[in-house]
Structure 1
Amino acid sequence: MDDGSGDSLAGTLHHPAVPAAARPLVVLIHGLAGSEDSPYIRAAAGAVLARGHAVLRLNLRGAGPFVGRTRQRYHAGRTQDARAVLAHLATTLPDLAAAGVVVVGYSLAGNMVLKLMGEVGALPPMVRGGVAVSAPIDLSATSRRFLKARNRPYHLWLLRQMKAETLATPAEPGTAEAERQAAVRRARTIYDFDDGYVAPANGWRDAEDYYRVNSALQFLPAITRPTLVIHALDDPWIAPEPYLAFDWAAHPALVPLIVTKGGHVGFHAARREQGAILGGEWLDRCLVRFLETLA
């Protein structure tokens, strides 16, 4: 779909082999440097399709097949793209959207989904619930945690991926975009990338301003529709303190599933169970059970 900006948003829609009545459409959104083909997206799609849900594997703006083909790029708070996709579904596939939609975000998109669910007055009525997995709900704290020595290999790999995605769209010499891309080339950390590219490209003063405006933590209290929040306290890249300090009990629409172990978008079952989904993936079983409460 074209959202009017000249860019396109794309995904892959799957219909279940045996549709189940009144099952909401599930929209799966990948994390930073991922796409609709990320392994966790494919695994979740298989799990929910097997339970009779239609599934949309959505690419964020400028990701997947559209790397190098958009003028703007995704970031942790770009909820307007999700709303545009939902509006498009309601218009073009009204029968499919009639049972409602559940939006599921992983990592960076988990922050986006929580922000979407908490944006008072902007959440489309078709959204019946949300799921966030390993979401960096405090973006500033996450950026600082990436600087720890133990995270250096992944930090550098992720930064290389981010640079490659961004620089795949050549900028006209002498333009503001060319200056921002020069900052991308100089960046030595994700903070540098956010400070030199993401913030100025989207109208924020600097990285801290971008983090302040878009961190999901401030949107959690406004969420009124069922929202599952899955996170592991041993996540190497996301600080546990924001999750531990938040008063979950005061907000009944939120369903926190905070566990001690699981890593970042990991949560593999310790053993295979009889009839377990996709060979025992705990994360996907939790997602399916949450969907069952909405069906």
Structure 2
Amino acid sequence: MATKLPIAALTTKHLFFTPVQATTLTRYNTVAAMMSATQYHPSLDVSGGALDTFLPAFTTLNRPYEAYPVIRSNTHLETIFANFFRSTPDVRFRRECLRTKDGGAVSLDWVAGDDRNLSPNSPTLILLPGLTGGSEDSYVRHMVVRARKKGWRTVVFNGRGCGDSPVTTPQFYSASYLGDTSEVVEHVSSRYPDANLYAAGWSLGANILVLYLAQESSRCRLSGAVSLCNPFNLVLADEAFRKGFNIIYDKSLSSSLRRIFRKHALLFEEMGGEYNIPAAVNCKSAKEFDEALTRVSFGFKSADDYYSKSCSSDFIQHVCKPLLCIQASNDPIAPARGIPREAIKPGLTGGSDDSYVRHMLVRARNKGWRVVVFNSRGCADSPVTTPQMYSASFLGDLDAVVNHVVARYPKANLYGVGWSMGANLLVQYLGKEAGGRRFSGAVSMCNPFDLVMSDEDLCKGFNRIYNRSLAKALSGILKKHLMLFEDIGGDYNIPLAANAQTIRDYDDGLTRVSFGFKSVDEYLQNSCSANFIKYVRTPLLCIQAKNDPIAPDRAIPREDIKGNPNCLLVVTPKGGHLGWVAGENAPRGCPWTDPMVMDFLQHLENERSGTHQGTGNLLQSVNV
């Protein structure tokens, strides 16, 4: 049970975090692969923040992926052979029809005899098949058999109309509707409350599963999950579907959709509104079916709108449970370019769910500090209520937050910690705003300082990967709130921002216009905290890494920091961008910087409160 601090301790000090736009790669980081103690075969592309944790669990990744002779010569041969000629194990199921809250129904197929043969606390695996798939599919049954041999209880979740599941209302399912999934997980969890619950999804089922994990975040009842052949980006998958031989798959899936729909067409008789039932009944492609039925049922303006808002790649950064994603680089239906590889959890849109923030939070909390994390507009699911996001130099929100916190705890000393762009904002605030004097101390980490130089570096070499990933995260946030920007005039280019390929695209389409700059270059030039650090009058610790790929070493305003008696600069020879995988807590614990940050802040607090704990004069004792 957590120990509650006395109220007096809670009101003596306050730590204020500003991770507003921190740029970090905390889950899918290709560098982690090189650090792993366990080797995987070079024919496999394996990456992820959890690499060192989970790689030792696998017994096959050290062997090459060798497709069966002849079949391996062509992606379509491998796809079609598996679909038509792979064996289908004989599995006896016991069906349970689950009535959903909206009057619909889904079917849960349990392995017959499991209630007698397995204990109530046996691990339980929920399987989510692909589009139109169900418990009769070969790939599903093979997984059932393998899990059953391990002593696991399995249940196949057949969506509405799939696997002969009944359809009782004029609504099927979609790539982003999570209501049925939530009810199934809740039902299974309540049935076996002592069992750890897991899930595996294929194709569209994988997309739904990842969306569900992201929606539930840390509240999710699943202990872990596996996503296989996830299209991730449905816009790209739709484009691939309509090219070359892939048209065959499109026609096949549309045929399955027609067949399911026709069985239940009477439920849709005389449906009004924008429904086009004849088009759904006679669809020649999956997009025609979605345009006529799916997008209308679930409130989207068009099939394209439905696809763009149903991409699990836009939400995977919110997944807080262990997740294994397995893809094929030559998948004709789930294209490799749709995989959110390098920055599944980018910090340019960072917030209280980020690893580096939480490590600092825990350390501060252990020392008796109160902590509040400032999630900027749209970040970490923070609401957006006006047609304006945030920028690298807009200080209005930060000022409002500081005033609010000070008013709430007027007797507490206030400190600030900022990462990356959050650090850039914090330093500008300290140097420009009168409110900066309210801080008793602050820490800036991985501050880009000069955004012009940072922009230059983001357009070079491997850094372009970070650029694309961060742009995707920004556009993903924008897409959630597009209706606020409908019919907005002026120089705005919302389509450019919503489909940004680089951060510069996004800033040109939206940010620089929102904040009154004539161009992106003007915006970047006027948003550099390097121009204001000479005016900082608050004790400030700046920590940088010499090899930071996003906050370049040449951008550090060394002379201004040296000439300011309130500032201290520490530059580590390595550390990357918000990496700092070093020290006694490496490789999976807190960053190397955390103890230094709290030592600095605690020293300042001791000086202000008149208590001394042997820290000495920290500003002079640190060797820069």
Residues 1:157 and 2:469 are matched in the alignment: yes
Residue pair 1:199, 1:207 contacting (<8 A) in 2 also:
yes
Residues 1:290 and 2:597 are matched in the alignment: no
Q: 1:197 to 1:253 in 2, by over 3 A?
A: same
* Number of aligned residue pairs: 273
Deviations 1:203-257, CA, capped at 9 Å, x for gaps = 1111111112211000010011101111101001122112165343211101111
Query: Aligned equivalents of 2:503 and 2:471: distance in 1?
Result: 6
Query: Aligned equivalents of 2:4 and 2:529: distance in 1?
Result: 32
TM-score (norm 2): 0.41
Match of 1:246 among 549, 559, 564: 559
Give the CA deviation at 1:22: 7.4
Q: 1:293 to 1:90 in 2, by over 3 A?
A: same
Give the CA deviation at 1:141: 0.8
Residue pair 1:16, 1:49 contacting (<8 A) in 2 also:
no
Structure 1 residue aligned with 2:35: none
Residue pair 2:12, 2:411 contacting (<8 A) in 1 also:
no
CA RMSD of aligned residues (A): 2.4
Residues 1:33 and 2:368 are matched in the alignment: no
Deviations 1:1-47, CA, capped at 9 Å, x for gaps = xxxxxxxxxxxxxx973664875311112121111111111110001
Residues 1:85 and 2:74 are matched in the alignment: no
Give runs of aligned pairs for residues 212-251 of structure 1, distance below 5 A.
Answer: 212-243=525-556, 245-251=558-564
Residues 1:138 and 2:450 are matched in the alignment: yes
Q: 1:38 to 1:287 in 2, by over 3 A?
A: same
2:391 aligned counterpart, secondary structure:
coil
Give the CA deviation at 1:163: 0.6
Structure 2 residue aligned with 1:58: 374
Paired residue type of 1:203: G
Paired residue type of 2:601: L
Give runs of aligned pairs for residues 62-73 of structure 1, distance below 5 A.
Answer: 62-66=378-382, 69-73=385-389
Residue pair 1:29, 1:41 contacting (<8 A) in 2 also:
no
Query: Aligned equivalents of 1:16 and 1:72: distance in 2?
Result: 39
TM-score (norm 1): 0.84
Give the CA deviation at 1:107: 0.8
Structure 2 residue aligned with 1:3: none
Query: Aligned equivalents of 1:16 and 1:124: distance in 2?
Result: 31
Q: 1:179 to 1:72 in 2, by over 3 A?
A: closer
Query: Aligned equivalents of 1:179 and 1:247: distance in 2?
Result: 37
Structure 1 residue aligned with 2:277: none
Structure 2 residue aligned with 1:4: none
Query: Aligned equivalents of 1:125 and 1:22: distance in 2?
Result: 19
Give the CA deviation at 1:125: 3.9
Match of 1:176 among 481, 489, 494: 489
Residue pair 2:437, 2:538 contacting (<8 A) in 1 also:
no
Give the CA deviation at 1:288: 0.6
Q: 1:21 to 1:240 in 2, by over 3 A?
A: same
Residues 1:24 and 2:8 are matched in the alignment: no
Unaligned runs of 5+ in 1: 1-14
Structure 2 residue aligned with 1:117: 430
Paired residue type of 1:82: L
Structure 1 residue aligned with 2:591: 281
Give the CA deviation at 1:148: 0.8
Paired residue type of 1:290: F
Residues 1:101 and 2:414 are matched in the alignment: yes
Q: Which has the larger radius of gyration?
A: 2
Query: Aligned equivalents of 1:44 and 1:16: distance in 2?
Result: 19
Query: Aligned equivalents of 1:209 and 1:169: distance in 2?
Result: 26
Structure 1 residue aligned with 2:518: 205
2:571 aligned counterpart, secondary structure:
strand
Residue pair 2:429, 2:435 contacting (<8 A) in 1 also:
yes
Residue pair 1:68, 1:168 contacting (<8 A) in 2 also:
no
2:598 aligned counterpart, secondary structure:
helix
Query: Aligned equivalents of 2:583 and 2:436: distance in 1?
Result: 38
Give the CA deviation at 1:83: 1.1
Unaligned runs of 5+ in 2: 23-347, 606-624
Give the CA deviation at 1:279: 4.8
Paired residue type of 1:235: D
Query: Aligned equivalents of 2:513 and 2:464: distance in 1?
Result: 26
Query: Aligned equivalents of 1:272 and 1:173: distance in 2?
Result: 48
Paired residue type of 1:234: N
Deviations 1:91-130, CA, capped at 9 Å, x for gaps = 2x23xx412211111111010000011015x225431111
Q: 1:175 to 1:165 in 2, by over 3 A?
A: same
Percent identity (aligned): 24
Q: 1:106 to 1:177 in 2, by over 3 A?
A: farther
Paired residue type of 2:18: I
Query: Aligned equivalents of 2:475 and 2:437: distance in 1?
Result: 37
Q: 1:236 to 1:125 in 2, by over 3 A?
A: closer
